Structure 1
């Protein structure tokens, strides 16, 4: 006798904000589906964020599809735990079919054309469509020199950092001057730790500008709507997101004023265990300031075009702080002599998609090949990718548009979500 397996309309992999947003859109269309989550709802937010972490979007923008903010602090920001609670509430309130603690082990083509098989820790599922929303920033990257560091140094990634009290006593070297690196360096400095920060050539943003939260302006002005391909055309690559403090403007200047020792880019380890850095801190400060000025200029132009009655530009908090730079610049650093006991790598992340055994959906580095979330295989989609379609992609406020677009792909494009059936 042949056992038949019910074929779902769709399976969503991942129950973060992207996966839950897609599930919400699927449910609105009356489509049968499951959301498979390796841990709990919002697992990455629970386990890969530090204790003092806060969102970078204001409360008025930190909302799920169909919801709107009705609280008393629209310009406030959610803590890590409050954001997880928001996701849990959204899933429960909308009765979304989330299966927690159910990791996907393999995704492969099924026996029938157009059907995909998913092997999970609880068994097998079949679906005509699979939306991968497991995140593209959940596996830490470390430079090749990490293995050459003295064994006496304790090394962790940004995703493993929780608080200063969890670290060994002593100074800390934070490598990477992006969002995580700067926020973790500030958290450590506030805890009284001696902090060395290896900076990067990354832009920054003021927290507020001309009377509004900067994120409000970025949405209204269309800055976040710039397409991925346009960004690559302009810059030759997808850049790291600009540094944005959750509650205040953050900059290399402000960090140095808190006592953080600014270093250039980390370049390796000499034979005697000396850490080496480039002499480019001044360039990194200048680049970040220029990036901030460029964004503000675009906002000014938008305000003028739209005829918005906005307050005059206030002084940039970063530019009224005189940076405290090592003199002479530090090119080499002896960890033992400097009292460094811990190195925190804030050098980027990638997605973990090794379980996808499908041709043509991943590149040579195992990362998604997609356009606007759609792959070359009918019925295989990605949701929530950082810079997946536009600058807005990868930010919670993007899923309200992204989810219904993926669910409602037109049939003439060959990616429509059909009705369920069964296969042997």
Structure 2
């Protein structure tokens, strides 16, 4: 049996950040990657996707963005190259094409055994860095529409050309759903979007990108103790497409996108919508105005030298209202000639391969700043693992550094 001091599971941004900090400390370790470095960026994103945050936030420990478009938005292939180069530059000991099928405590009670597609490995420490986007979350209704209807999760959507002819229905109005719906609209596809809880923000305000403001006002550094799950707002709707434009559902509706309330059921080849569209849009607008007010208050309080506002339109006016904002209760798949449904319904974690009691009944790992109750076992790169930025490319390094210190015995439990 092969023996390694620390095994890192996952060769994406989190696993490589962990490798950097262990390498800086001269600690033996191995990174196991099921496919290729940055695999999710390669094969689980649509063709036209751009990084949702400005290029200056493309940063990992020891490597900042060095290009000539810091305020631009990199195409996903550029993000892959950035991560690939990072892995090479830090000489990360990545073993690709190795799938971890089971993780158990060692029979001796000290350390762990990893069952992999390439054999068994024993390790004193294990860092699980498989990312937050593991298994598509699909509602039970996916079994109800006719069998000949093409249904894909946003993970498997590639382009409008890859879909069959006809109307397209996008379920879910997070960042992915809104971007895909806009792309379909631009391609001339008749498109419906099921709208749920969302958070509207300006792409830029007072001379800076929204991500800059989130960092400036400390939002990215809010911890799980500051923002427990039940009070967290939805992630902001942002896109890096076309140089980073402001996602505005009302404007999309004026351009032809048909908006619906959230999906409540599927029966008799019909989709049923809740009559909550107007209220959901108003709530999104309230988030928008509140965020702008927070920025203005921050500038007034700190004396920050930025442009004068406002630079954004008043989203409270009704000039973007159209018939496409009227409540639609049902949609007949046949009469509307629907050829495809795209489920932009998010992801669930899948840690079924972990045979150690550190995951609760809801599938969530039980950890504190990445550390579990089992000595030597850690998680890294999950959403809100410790801070709002824990799953961000530019934020995961801070958690990785802490875990590396734990492994070295530099900090106490």
TM-score range, shorter chain: over 0.9
Is residue 254–residue 318 contact of structure 1 (8 Å, CA) maintained in 2?
A: no
The answer on whether the counterparts of 1:249 and 1:318 sit within 8 Å (CA) in structure 2 is no
Give 1:328 deviation, angstroms.
4.6
Q: Of 99, 102, 109, which aligns to 2:95? A: 99
User: How much is the aligned-residue C-alpha RMSD, in angstroms?
Assistant: 1.8
Shift of 1:238: 5.1
Does residue 1:31 correspond to 2:30, yes or no?
A: no
TM, length-normalised to structure 2: 0.94
Give the distance between the partners of 1:261 and 1:352, measured in 2 at CA: 34
**What is the aligned counterpart of 1:53 among 49, 56, 69?**
49
Which residue of the partner structure matches residue 386 of structure 1?
Answer: 383
- After the TM superposition, which residues 1-400 of structure 1 pair with which residues of structure 2 at under 5 Å, given as runs? 5=1, 7-232=3-228, 236=230, 239-246=233-240, 247-270=244-267, 272-317=268-313, 319=315, 322-326=320-324, 328-359=326-357, 361-400=358-397
Cα distance in 2 for partners of 1:275, 1:129 equals 49
User: For residues 5-48 of structure 1, what are the alpha-carbon distances to aligned partners after superposition, in whole Å with 9 as ceiling and x for unaligned?
Assistant: 55422111111111111111110011111100010001111111
1:39/1:102 contact within 8 Å kept = yes
Give 5+ residue unaligned stretches, structure 2.
Answer: none
C-alpha separation between the residues in 2 aligned to 1:407 and 1:290?
41
Task: Describe the SS at the equivalent of 1:406.
Answer: helix
Q: Cα deviation per residue 1:272-297 (whole Å; 9 max; x = unaligned)?
A: 32210011111111111111222222
Say which SS state the counterpart of residue 196 (structure 1) adopts: strand
Aligned length: 407
Gaps spanning 5+ residues in structure 1: where? 416-424
State the Cα deviation string for residues 305-343 of structure 1 (Å, max 9, x = none): 221111122343582761434365210110111111100
Deviation at 1:239, TM superposition (A): 4.9
Q: CA 1:32/1:325 → structure 2, altered by over 3 Å: closer, same or farther?
A: farther
The alignment partner of 1:326 has SS state of helix
Distance in 2 of aligned mates of 1:128 and 1:324: 62
